[in-house]
Structure 1
Amino acid sequence: MSAKKDGRTSGKNQEKQKNVSIQNNASKQKRISGQKQAFRQKLFVASAAVIGSLCIAYLCVSFYFMKHFFPNTIINGQDFSGQTAEAAEAFFKERTEGYSLTVIANGSGTETIHGSEISLTCREGGEIKAVLKQQNAFQWPVKLWNKKASDVQIELSYDRAALEKRIQSLDAVTSEQIPASSAFPKYDGNTYVIEPESCGTAVNIRAVKECITNSVQTFAAEVDLKQEDCYETPKYTSQSEQVTSACETLNTYCRASITYNMDVPVVVDKALISGWLSVDGDMNVTLNEAAVREWMREFGKRYDTLGSSRTFTTPAGKTAEVSGGTYGWSVDEDGETALLIDHIKKGEVLSKEPAWCQTAAAHGAQDWGSTYIDVDLSAQHMWYVVNGGIAMQCDVVTGAPDASKVTPAGVYYVSEKLSPTVLIGEIQADGKPEYEQEVDYWMRVTQSGIGFHDADWQPAFGGDLYLSIGSHGCINMSKYDAQTLYSMIELGVPAVIHY
């Protein structure tokens, strides 16, 4: 009984303690909640105070910039940061009164343009106030962080015609205008070197006008025309790639040396080549090909023997002169001109023979060499010379002294050998050839049909028989002599026919 009572009492006590604990927790939570609410109220009040202060400060500064220029405000080159429009107007008014601009010229001293000469004044049209009005005062925070200057130009009032006239009267404009000249490659007698550029004294009048006008607008105290690039400048300097490249090309051409192996060597080198070279204003190098061709033409005239007059000693010891014919040296002028130009452009050094259209046995007056046929029309005699010695000789009968039958003088060569053959004359009006003659040995020397052949119809040879029974132009020989000559000569053997 007693034990049951103690158990009930203990349960009641535990329940009572639990209720007390719940009440204490609720009270504690209520107290903490109140503290948080009080903190929030204080934070709100503080934040509102700060924001309010910032707003007031922002508005105050905004109101300030309604009357003052933003930082980094440049008007006509002058800094008016934080200043009022009235202060700026006063500044411009003060500066226009008594303003002068010193113009520094290159080599002609200095000159002064006074504001009074051009009626310089600051306009009263409210342009400066308009600049202030255009700025949005409420954007001042952006302007504080943005360091970029706001450069504004306002119109100053001045007599434009007077300024134009004053500029035109400057010594820099009226003095001798020596134009600028570019650097260029120059031949110094040995090689091409770069001649430096020259700036000259000629001004760029457009640049001068713009520069001086801007200086007046910004109240500049002085302007240096050279520093402001108001002078004409050379197109190319000594450092320009075009100039150095042209110089290199010219020196490449002048390194060429072509030696023609003639009786006396003929050299084409820089002494000659430099006279054929030129450079234009755009630094384009030109080799005067017409001049090269003309030089080659003179070279050909000097060394061509084809058809030229030659003086020599006959096998009989007589001094004779001969010209014309189809045998001799002839330079291929067109072909060799092209080759020479190519050699020069490549800067080649070489020795060579020129290109020939036709060659001969030797250079010199007697270009037929030491093996040839000699026909003396006056003596009516011929010799076959081999290596300078007479291999055979005989009398002949040549063409009759008639314009259509005379044997042509000149230096030729044997171009055809036939045995036997039929010689056919020109076709007459009746359609028949002038003659048809069979011969055993034929040796042609001209394209018109002149040659050596046997003529057994001739009663004799030599003397003056050609005057009465001369040929149609061929050199008539006895069959024995014709056979002998035919057996000894080869195609290409020169034939010198002379008086």
Structure 2
Amino acid sequence: MSSKKKRNDVGSGPGENIDIEDKINAAMDKIMKDPEEERNSSQRKYEPDNGESETEEYESEERYDSEEYESDEAYDSEEEYESEEDYDPEEEYGSQEEHGEDAEYDEEGYDEPEEGSQDFSRNIKASGKLKSARPQPVKYVPMDDIEEKLALLPENKRKKHKGLKITGLAAAMAVVVAGCAYAGMTYYYSDRFFEGTWINGIDCSGKTAYEVETALADKVQDYSIQVSSRNQEPQMITGEQINYQYLSTGETLQLLKNQKPYEWIKGFYEQKSYTVAENVAYDKTLLQQQVTALNCAKTENQTAPENAYVAFKDNQFQIVPETEGTQLNVKQAYRILDQAVADTQASIDFGTAPDAYVSAEVTQNDPELQSALEACNNYTKASITYTFGDQTATLDGNTIKDWLQFDEKGQLLMDDNTFHQHIADYVAQLAATYNTVGTEREFHTTSGRTVYVYSSVYGWAIDQAAEAAQLAQEIQSGTQTTREPIYEQTANSHGLNDLGNTYIEVDLSNQHMYYYQSGSLIFDSEFVSGNMSYSDRQTHAGIFTLYSKTSPSVLRGDKKPDGTYEYEEPVDYWMPFDGGIGFHDAPWRDAFGGDIYLTNGSHGCINLPPENAAVLYSIIDYNVPIVCFY
């Protein structure tokens, strides 16, 4: 359809303009209609107006609704409308001359409709200029005309439409204001810490990095440290005395850079706490001077520590603990204080730092001291009982503790030389009491006489060196035992007469010998002893034991300068017991016994008849004492 044809289809009279208004009003009613009002209007009863029945009213509206628009297919969008360039308002509507005076809109003659959609419809009907309800082509309407027609809307519709516009405008403004406020706060916190931010105990909400650094600097400006020590009142060292200053490490600024400004709202419900290094600088020379000026560093206020020691108290040995003392280790004390100041500590106690004081060299846990205690307790625990036949001698802690040395405080003085000397003295005392070598014994002879016989080679003799070493070991290990001492020489029995009941009796005065075994005489014989006319040939009195037995043998005298011997005499049985003196056979003699020995005796040996010498040789034992007496 051409543009010209479309223009011809558009009505040109006033009634047609009213029809357009009616369409606009209907569309606005659909947009603006309150759902509640729609429900109420569906139940409303309409009263007849100007003789027209309610039925006619609805029929008119029905016709209007049903024939108002055709389907979208009835129009071709490209043919329906002209372009904006071809549009001519006067051509569309026609001039006033073309339509006549009736086509004019007389604002004064146009009564504003009363409130309510019915009145507005009646006014339109009253005009008598309504045409068919069939939709007409949409005409371009200038904005002034639309505004003029909107002014004809009912009052309540206009108010409601206006309210929605205001609400939408207010909402839009609120969104814009909120967005501006959020952006403004984001910008504000771009160089400030969020609310609820704490650094090193300082509330940094809304502060810049510089302000936080200033607060940290103010925090250490009045720094001081309290120094406590043993037996002294605490003393203060102020930051001013050591030129104490704060140095930034840059950690605060880095925390701020790590903060995302657009997350500023988190600060109002989320609190964060950080710790940064409070780097400080101070004069270490001044700090050294402050340490040496402390009361605890002064000589008159210092006491040296005492070592722990072992003492004998309450009938037992125990360790007396060491004493700490107050002798300050100045160099170590300075190191401890220097570290405390570097860590910005508010106080330091040298008493809790063992390295700050000179320590005792020996503590109660010292391994050597523990060993000494164990040894001392063993001293009192040790018990050695010696047996000497029917006699005993006991060494126990009551005696041993007296061998230990203590100072005026009761501290044990470990002197091994002194202690071992006590042991040696004790063993020597045992030897003096119970040794029989070198003693004189009372002896009852077969002839009924009682004689006293001395011996330097027979009897009991304790090996004092070996016994002292054994005793020291047993004392230190706390040994409890009963035993004999270690002997270097033994006898047949204990007691004053240690000969027992097995012995050989040589009666030099009677020139007769007897061999008793377990108290029974098993052998006897006459003999010839050393010549009494020569002092160097006399047989020695004493108690001896057999050295050896040889058969046959050659007896020789002293060796002469020419290499020969004074004499050489072969014998069949040789049994020495006193150096070169012994029992042997003497076949060259015809008689034995009597007083031959006085002038014609031997060189000191006991000469026996050959047959008797053979018997003695067969029964004599090495350990049998040989008692020789006059």
Normalised to the residue count of structure 2, the TM-score between the two structures is 0.52
Amino acid at match of 1:120: I
Change (3 A) 1:346 1:290: closer
Does the 8 A contact of 1:300 with 1:333 survive in 2?
no
**How many angstroms apart in 2 are the aligned matches of 1:146 and 1:355?**
87
Does the 8 A contact of 1:322 with 1:497 survive in 2?
no
Amino acid at match of 1:205: V
Does the 8 A contact of 2:440 with 2:453 survive in 1?
yes
**How many angstroms apart in 1 are the aligned matches of 2:434 and 2:558?**
33
The structure 1 residue matched to 2:330, chosen from 186, 190, 205, is 205
Matches within 5 A, 1:65-84: 71-73=198-200, 82=204, 84=212
* CA offsets 1:455-498 (integer angstroms, 9 cap, x no match): 454877565955x5453332335668757866775443201345
**Please, which runs of 5 or more residues in structure 2 have no aligned partner?**
1-72, 74-174, 205-210, 261-269, 406-413
The reply to whether residue 413 of structure 1 matches residue 545 of structure 2 is: yes
**How many angstroms apart in 1 are the aligned matches of 2:426 and 2:415?**
18
Does the 8 A contact of 1:88 with 1:128 survive in 2?
no
- Residue identity over aligned pairs, in percent, reads 25
Change (3 A) 1:350 1:491: same
The structure 2 residue matched to 1:106, chosen from 200, 210, 230, is 230
Amino acid at match of 2:216: A
The reply to whether residue 434 of structure 1 matches residue 566 of structure 2 is: yes
Question: What residue number does 1:139 align with?
Answer: 258
**How many angstroms apart in 2 are the aligned matches of 1:414 and 1:224?**
84
The reply to whether residue 453 of structure 1 matches residue 584 of structure 2 is: yes
Q: Which stretch of structure 1 is more off in the superposition, 297-306 or 489-498?
A: 297-306
Does the 8 A contact of 2:193 with 2:256 survive in 1?
yes
Question: What residue number does 1:271 align with?
Answer: 398
Matches within 5 A, 1:377-392: 379=509, 381=511, 383-384=513-514, 386=516
**How many angstroms apart in 1 are the aligned matches of 2:596 and 2:376?**
67
Does the 8 A contact of 2:529 with 2:538 survive in 1?
no
**Please, which runs of 5 or more residues in structure 1 have no aligned partner?**
1-19, 21-45, 74-78, 279-284
Question: What residue number does 2:282 align with?
Answer: 156
Deviation, 1:293, is: 6.7
Question: What residue number does 2:217 align with?
Answer: 89
Does the 8 A contact of 1:461 with 1:477 survive in 2?
no
**How many angstroms apart in 1 are the aligned matches of 2:314 and 2:543?**
45
Question: What residue number does 2:490 align with?
Answer: 359
Question: What residue number does 1:257 align with?
Answer: 383
**How many angstroms apart in 1 are the aligned matches of 2:306 and 2:190?**
56
Deviation, 1:269, is: 2.9
Question: What residue number does 1:308 align with?
Answer: 438
**How many angstroms apart in 1 are the aligned matches of 2:533 and 2:349?**
94
**How many angstroms apart in 1 are the aligned matches of 2:439 and 2:243?**
93
Deviation, 1:443, is: 3.0
Deviation, 1:110, is: 1.2
* CA offsets 1:395-416 (integer angstroms, 9 cap, x no match): 7422667686554554321244
Change (3 A) 1:205 1:471: farther
Amino acid at match of 1:105: S
Deviation, 1:166, is: 0.5
Deviation, 1:340, is: 4.8
Question: What residue number does 1:30 align with?
Answer: none
Deviation, 1:256, is: 3.9
Change (3 A) 1:130 1:476: same
Question: What residue number does 2:627 align with?
Answer: 496
Change (3 A) 1:498 1:269: same
Question: What residue number does 2:504 align with?
Answer: 373
Does the 8 A contact of 2:467 with 2:486 survive in 1?
yes
**How many angstroms apart in 2 are the aligned matches of 1:453 and 1:56?**
138
Amino acid at match of 1:365: L
Q: Which stretch of structure 1 is more off in the superposition, 427-436 or 392-401?
A: 392-401
Change (3 A) 1:276 1:146: farther
**How many angstroms apart in 2 are the aligned matches of 1:204 and 1:231?**
5
Rg bigger for which structure?
Answer: 2
Does the 8 A contact of 1:441 with 1:454 survive in 2?
yes
Matches within 5 A, 1:142-291: 149-157=275-283, 159-160=286-287, 162-167=289-294, 170=296, 173-182=299-308, 186-188=311-313, 190-214=315-339, 223-229=348-354, 230-233=356-359, 251=377, 254-262=380-388, 263-272=390-399, 290=420
Deviation, 1:136, is: 5.6
Does the 8 A contact of 1:407 with 1:474 survive in 2?
yes
* CA offsets 1:302-345 (integer angstroms, 9 cap, x no match): 367474233434536455352322x3223455665665566556
Does the 8 A contact of 2:311 with 2:317 survive in 1?
yes
Amino acid at match of 1:159: L
Deviation, 1:163, is: 1.9
- Residue 362 of structure 1 aligns to a residue whose secondary structure is coil
Q: Which stretch of structure 1 is more off in the superposition, 363-372 or 333-342?
A: 333-342
Deviation, 1:361, is: 0.9
Deviation, 1:450, is: 1.6
The structure 2 residue matched to 1:121, chosen from 243, 246, 258, is 243
Amino acid at match of 2:289: A
**How many angstroms apart in 2 are the aligned matches of 1:349 and 1:185?**
23
* CA offsets 1:94-114 (integer angstroms, 9 cap, x no match): x26xx6x6544323x315356
Change (3 A) 1:494 1:457: same
Amino acid at match of 1:163: Q
Deviation, 1:265, is: 1.4
**How many angstroms apart in 2 are the aligned matches of 1:174 and 1:114?**
21
**How many angstroms apart in 1 are the aligned matches of 2:387 and 2:539?**
36
Does the 8 A contact of 2:528 with 2:601 survive in 1?
no
Question: What residue number does 2:192 align with?
Answer: 64
* CA offsets 1:388-444 (integer angstroms, 9 cap, x no match): 788858574226676865545543212445566543445544444432224455432
Q: Which stretch of structure 1 is more off in the superposition, 269-278 or 254-263?
A: 269-278
Does the 8 A contact of 1:424 with 1:437 survive in 2?
yes
The reply to whether residue 471 of structure 1 matches residue 590 of structure 2 is: no
The answer to which structure, 1 or 2, has the higher relative contact order (CA under 8 A, 6+ apart) is 1
